[in-house]
Amino acid sequence: MIKSMTGFCKTDVSHKDLRCGVEVRSVNHRFLESRVFLPKQFQYLEDSLKKELKQKLSRGKVDITFQLGEDITPEERLSVDAKVWENVKSIVGLLEKDIGRDLQVNMSDLLAVKGLLAYQQEEKNAEEYESLFRQALEMGVNELVKMRQREGELLFKEIMGHVDNLQELIGKIPTFQEEVLAGYRQRLANNLEKLQVTYDKDDPRILQEIGIFMDRADITEEIERFNSHLVQMRELLAGNDPVGRKLDFILQELYREANTLCSKANHIQVTQVGVDLKCEIEKIREQVQNIE
């Protein structure tokens, strides 16, 4: 069953004596774009949590926010990155040598150096906190997927209604094909009469002209392709894989066939059906933009 790309969930997770709240928001997007908001001392987990998220979602703009329980104060310490510090000292030494005097470097200058100071989680608690966040991610995303599935069911019903309308509309066109041919015969006869040309309706040249027109105005192939695309759409909608991009491509093909039907048939009623087809296609396109 198809899934929506929009959803929201908020839940709490416990691991041993630790607690964490997680909030997940998702909106539609061409690809998967995720942002993970962690307490500052655990931001090193961001990339690995994003990788886990990719195993469960394929599209959508997703924001995940983790909030530790108010009564939890992680044991942490402020440390200096030795490599960055040595690099800073080396740069300061070079500058002093170049200008010929000592530089006045204060604490605010040092704090502005990216990566020099960092919070580090005490080793005895780091693994437990990591487990807590991973469990929170799994639970939050699972709840989000359930909500996206529920919305997907509603989208499925609405889209299938429009697909049925398309099927009904395209089924009307063959009934007008004989009218298209008869109308052309009459227009040809009227034009010849205006020119005061005597002709035999069975004249090979007349029949050849009608045959050329029939070939140009034949829309059988377009109707077959349109119906084939509808079959593909029904199959995709009934599957369990992400299908949003594929559906968007099929809708482009359906729209192109509808345009071709209108231009080739040159019949007012076929044109009206074509307009109705395009309206239904646009309604589906609006919904497909929100499908994973």
- Domain-by-domain residue ranges, the chain? 7-73+123-148, 76-120, 150-288
Q: Is the pLDDT of residue 108 over 60?
A: yes
pLDDT at 124: 47
- Rounded CA-CA distance 187/140 in Å is 68
pLDDT at 279: 94
Q: Is the pLDDT of residue 188 over 70?
A: no
Q: Is the pLDDT of residue 252 over 90?
A: yes
pLDDT, one tens digit per residue, over 113-133 is 777 776 665 554 778 888 999
Q: Average pLDDT of 243-254?
A: 93
Q: Is the pLDDT of residue 71 over 60?
A: no
| Low-confidence winner among 54-58, 228-232, 240-244 (lowest mean pLDDT) | 240-244
Q: Is the pLDDT of residue 289 over 80?
A: yes
| Low-confidence winner among 82-86, 105-109, 157-161 (lowest mean pLDDT) | 105-109
* Confidence label for 181 from pLDDT (cuts 50, 70 and 90): low
* Confidence label for 103 from pLDDT (cuts 50, 70 and 90): confident
* Confidence label for 105 from pLDDT (cuts 50, 70 and 90): confident
pLDDT at 70: 64
Percent of the chain at pLDDT > 70 equals 78
Taking each helix axis from N to C terminus, what angle separates 220-238 and 123-172, rounded to the nearest 10 degrees?
150
pLDDT at 61: 94
* Confidence label for 93 from pLDDT (cuts 50, 70 and 90): confident
| Low-confidence winner among 107-116, 119-128, 229-238, 260-269 (lowest mean pLDDT) | 119-128
- Average pLDDT, rounded, for the chain: 82
Rounded alpha-carbon distances, angstroms, from residue 81 to 85, 121, 249: 6, 14, 51
Percent of the chain at pLDDT > 90 equals 41
Q: Average pLDDT of 167-173?
A: 90
* Confidence label for 72 from pLDDT (cuts 50, 70 and 90): low
Q: Is the pLDDT of residue 213 over 60?
A: no
pLDDT, one tens digit per residue, over 272-286 is 888 999 999 999 999
Among candidate residues 107, 101, 44, 36, the one with its CA nearest the CA of residue 76: 44
Q: Is the pLDDT of residue 218 over 50?
A: yes
| Low-confidence winner among 18-27, 71-80, 107-116, 143-152 (lowest mean pLDDT) | 71-80
Quickly name the fold that domain 150-288 has: Butyryl-CoA Dehydrogenase, subunit A; domain 3 (1.20.140)
Q: How many CA atoms lie within 13 A of 200 on its CB side?
A: 4
Enumerate long-range contacts of 257-264, CB under 8 Å, 24 or more apart. 257/222, 257/225, 257/226, 257/229, 258/226, 260/219, 260/222, 261/173, 261/219, 261/222, 261/223, 261/226, 264/216, 264/217, 264/218, 264/219, 264/222
